[in-house]
Amino acid sequence: MIQKLLLGMLIVTVPFAFIGNFLGFAATMMFIVYSLAIVSLASYIGRATESLAIVSGPRIGGLLNVTFGNVVELTISVFALKAGFLSIVLASLTGAVISNLLLVAGLSFFIGGLKYKRQKFNIFDARHNAGLLMFCVVLSFVFPAVFASYLTEAEIMTMSVWIAVIMLILYFALLYFKLVSHRGVYAQKSDGQEDEEPEWNKKKAIIILASAAIAVAFISDMLVDTFEVVGETFGWTELFIGVIIVAIIGNSAENITAILMAFKNKMNISVEIAIGSTLQIAMFVTPLLVLLSLLLPVQMPLLFSMPALVAMVLSVFLSIFIFIDGDTNWFEGLILLAAYLIIGIGFYLI
């Protein structure tokens, strides 16, 4: 029934999005149409990814989700950076980190927990990820912010480039570690998805995934153009749009997939999506944007604002202590959602 609803929404909103954009309909209305179109497309991305995950195993499945989930963020960020909107880019990266750790994981744990009393996931991954989150969000983002007040602007950019290079090397070392060197070394009991039939075969899943991803990228681009008018209409600041609105819509694909997986008790994939996506934003997208900005007129140092840093650091610490036992329930999901709500209120008022 949900699937029929989403199919109907897709059939109505996606063509409407392109036609309305072409004809120049009112921005506030089109903002809603674009958002619904992305959400419905995201559900197809989710189902296609799930089919591929059944064929490819949880690790590759998680990686697929992360890749297709972050295409939107990367695209928006590159265009915004090219246009010189540094603060919106940093805000949307902040929002991606916070919403993956608190909103995506929170909804998965809460909704999954309404069905199952206790859900478990690989405790070795949880602990590995704790160290990585500490490294990339807490150390690599906080450290330059503290040292910046003792440095010149040129030195800050030098430090940012060095840190970006180190983070990218570590990111590729992580992929090598997970996929080659230690593939399966830390595996615990599987989620049991090998017993299941995929909804679509490999070829069909790839076609749906690819076309939905391309459509999402186009509509995201249109969506960005409506932000200015929508912000004025609803009284939202740029920071709130960047941290909360872009992140919720931009993460809807991960969100829907992670909840679907939680609902099927495949918590390894849910957690892989939430943390994997955070790590990809922090260790790959962010340093890549720092290096890309060297080719552009406006350079982007690795300097988040104080509210953004505090929100990210608190989110990381909270999620680490929620994740670290490899055991979830609805109440732990509720804690994460309450934290997301508090942070959202803060950015709304600021």
Residue 78 near residue 285, CB atoms below 8 Å: no
Examine residue 179 and tell whether it contacts a second copy (CB under 8 A).
no
d(CA 283, CA 65): 17
Number of residues that bind a second copy (CB under 8 A): 63
**Cα-Cα-Cα-Cα dihedral sign, residues 250, 252, 257, 263:** positive
162 near a second copy, rule: CB under 8 A: yes
Contacting range for a second copy; rule: CB under 8 A; set: 55-63, 197-205, 258-266, 337-345: 337-345
Q: Is 177 in the site for a second copy (CB under 8 A)?
A: yes
C-alpha to C-alpha distance for 35 and 246, rounded to whole angstroms: 10
Nearest distance from C-beta of residue 314 to a second copy, angstroms: 5
CA of 152: how far to CAs of 139, 156, 171, in Å?
Answer: 21, 6, 28
User: Is residue 235 within the footprint of a second copy (CB under 8 A)?
Assistant: no
Establish if 172 lies at the interface with a second copy (CB under 8 A): no
Among 169, 179, 207, 214, binds a second copy (CB under 8 A): 169
Segment contacting a second copy (CB under 8 A): 52-60, 81-89, 274-282, 333-341?
Answer: 333-341
Using DSSP, state whether 328 is helix, strand or coil. Answer: strand
Q: Does 244 bind a second copy (CB under 8 A)?
A: no
Cβ contact 270:96 at 8 Å: no
* φ, ψ dihedrals at 252, nearest 5°: -60, -35
Which window, 205-213, 257-265, 293-301, 327-335, contacts a second copy (CB under 8 A)? 327-335
C-beta closer to a second copy: residue 157 or 212: 157
Binding mask 185-214 for a second copy (x = CB under 8 A): x-----------------------------
Place of tokens 């749906």: 208
For residue 338, CA distances in Å to 119, 331, 341 come to: 20, 10, 5
* Shortest spacing between CB 13 and a second copy, in angstroms: 32
- Is residue 288 part of the contact set for a second copy (CB under 8 A)? no
Label the pairing between strands 119-120 and 327-328.
antiparallel
**Distance of closest approach, residue 246 Cβ to a second copy, in angstroms:** 20
Span 96-135, contacts to a second copy by CB under 8 A: 117-118, 124, 127-128, 130-132, 134-135
324 touches a second copy (CB under 8 A):
yes
End-to-end CA distance of the chain: 40
Q: Facing residues of 327 across strands?
A: 120
**Encoded tokens for 258:** 């992670």
Hey, what are 301's tokens?
């140092």
- Burial of residue 164 (CB within 10 Å: 0-12, 13-18, 19+) is buried
Cβ(277)–Cβ(101) below 8 Å: no
The smaller minimum CB distance to a second copy, of residues 155 and 228, is found at: 155
Q: Which residues contact a second copy (rule: CB under 8 A)? A: 117-118, 124, 127-128, 130-132, 134-135, 138-140, 142-144, 146-147, 150-151, 155, 158-159, 162-163, 166-167, 169-170, 173-174, 177, 181-182, 185, 306-307, 310-311, 314, 317-318, 320-322, 324-325, 327, 329-332, 334-335, 338-339, 341-343, 345-346, 349-350
